[in-house]
A = this chain, B = another copy of it.
């Protein structure tokens, strides 16, 4: 018995790692992504090999990726944040106004302010959910409307135009370092940080514990309220970042900014293998999912599929992903049970 207890540690970490990676969802999605890119490139080589094609391939996801990451952090705790689209719109407009009202504000400051604003909006969600103990789905549905309303009222019939913003900021939209666009670098840095924290920090692991059984987490003495609050703040801050990025990339903000993108963010997370009822899934997966979503949308017209079909394809993708999950998890459950039979 006692040596049985030790068996798992006998399997060399390398072995185990290798095993998990190969079976991992992230790899599967990444494979699909690569396939899409290959096919499209065969159809029109410039999709990948023209400087623009390459740039857009990397640049276009720079808004959805941060959203998907934030969404994952929240979903993992068995919550969801529908308000990110409105937060994005609001912070995008805020960014423009900052440049209008405080010319000469350093760009970094704008990024910081944008993320802070997002964090505050996220905190509102977090407080309501964590302290009010009310379903996140409903709360964030409410704030979705509220934030959007504030945005509309604030903007009125003004819009932000490129001419309102400094060259330096607009150039960010296309600037690259070694052919890698700056905006996506930002997104990837965020990804790396959040991913690392979720994977190895105690706080991160506790998010998973909370998501997989809130009551037990409470009895464990995990700081459930604080963690959930944090998750929403992170999601908000990343939506804020996405807002600033949006402005930098498109150089314009109209009342439609970010409308309906929250569902795409959820979709990306799901495609990336994040379980909608919490407890499992990685931000890596979500980010790849976001990449896939965006890239498919760009690829379809090129391979000559009518634009109308794009939505349908996105939907199909989501459903395939979750059905696949289902199949895999059933399988895995069986495997785990079999593992015990040895005892």
Contacts and interface: CB of A to CB of B under 8 A. Distances in A.
A218 to B, nearest CB: 16
A323 B134 CA distance: 7
The binding surface of chain A is classed by DSSP as helix
Nearest to A157: B308
A132 B313 CA distance: 20
A150 B309 CA distance: 7
B144 A306 contact: no
Given A135-B322, A138-B318, A326-B134, A145 B311 contact: yes
Interface in A137-163: 137-139, 141-150, 152-153, 156
A128 B319 contact: yes
A276 interface: yes
Copies in the assembly, this chain: 2
Interface in A173-224: none
B142 A318 contact: yes
Contacts of A263: 82, 141, 144
Given A134-B326, A142-B316, A319-B142, A311 B277 contact: no
A308 B156 contact: yes
B145 A312 contact: yes
Interface in A310-343: 310-319, 322-323, 325-326
A73 interface: no
A133 B319 CA distance: 12
B322 A149 contact: no
Given A260-B260, A322-B142, A135 B276 contact: yes
Contacts of A135: 276-277, 322
A308 B146 contact: no
Interface string A265-283: 0110010000011000000
Given A128-B323, A135-B322, A138-B322, A315 B152 contact: no
Contacts of A318: 138, 141-142, 145
B322 A139 contact: yes
Contacts of A147: 315
A35 B312 CA distance: 43
A309 B128 contact: no
Contact of A315 (B143, B267, B314): B143
Given A260-B260, A308-B152, A313-B149, A276 B319 contact: no
A314 to B, nearest CB: 5
Given A135-B276, A142-B267, A142-B318, 8 more contacts: A134-B326, A135-B277, A141-B263, A141-B315, A143-B315, A145-B312, A146-B312, A260-B260
Q: Give the 4 A-B CB pairs with smallest separation, nearest first.
A: A149-B312, A145-B315, A149-B311, A146-B315
19 contacts: A80-B137, A128-B323, A132-B323, A133-B326, A134-B322, A135-B322, A137-B137, A137-B266, A138-B319, A141-B263, A142-B317, A145-B267, A145-B318, A146-B311, A146-B312, A146-B319, A149-B313, A152-B308, A153-B312
